Amino acid sequence: MATMAQSELFRPITSTYESIKSSGNLGVISNYNLKETIVKYYQYYEYSRVLEEVSERFINQYIFPFFYENFDMMSGDFINRERLNDIKFRNLIVGYRGMTAQNLEFYKEVRAACKDLQGQLATELKKTGLFTPQNSLTGK
């Protein structure tokens, strides 16, 4: 239950990508598939921002108020245990679990896209001779 009352959001740093995009320097990447993968990868970040805002709103509007009213933060126990059987609490749990499961699936997809992008970048760097085991993007 304590994890429901914690709110940590993913806030990606995209300033380098935004700078490259706004300067028009994405055009210097000649590999169309790589360029497309980079753009798609950063589109995931835009969607993650929306997803995180929805999560934050749900937590701030529903989870926190319920816990502030029904949970003794000092003792770590519910003030009135009967509230655990309340439909409002059960709906909060179901909503939170559903939202968390959706977010987890999305971030698994982002992780796979990240690995794909790392592989494509490593391949491109090998072609240019800039890739060495010391600057490996894959962490191997």
The ranges assigned to domains in the chain are 31-135
Phi-psi region of 29 (alpha: psi -120 to 50; beta: other; left: phi over 0): beta
Does the predicted model carry a pTM greater than 0.75? no
Residue 2 has pLDDT above 60, yes or no: no
Closest CA to 36 of 116, 108, 111, 112: 116
Of the chain, the end-to-end C-alpha distance in Å amounts to 37
pLDDT digits (tens, 9 = 90+) for 18-62: 787 788 877 778 888 998 998 898 889 889 889 989 999 999 999
- What average pLDDT does range 62-83 have in this prediction? 87
Phi-psi region of 71 (alpha: psi -120 to 50; beta: other; left: phi over 0): beta
- What average pLDDT does range 117-129 have in this prediction? 87
pLDDT digits (tens, 9 = 90+) for 76-108: 888 888 888 899 999 999 999 999 999 999 999
What is the CB neighbour count within 10 angstroms for residue 118?
15
Tokens linked to 52: 């995180």
pLDDT on residue 30: 84
User: Among the residues of the chain, which ranges form H helices?
Assistant: 15-23, 32-58, 64-70, 87-128
The owner of tokens 């990240």 is 114
pLDDT band for 118, please (50, 70, 90 cuts).
Answer: very high
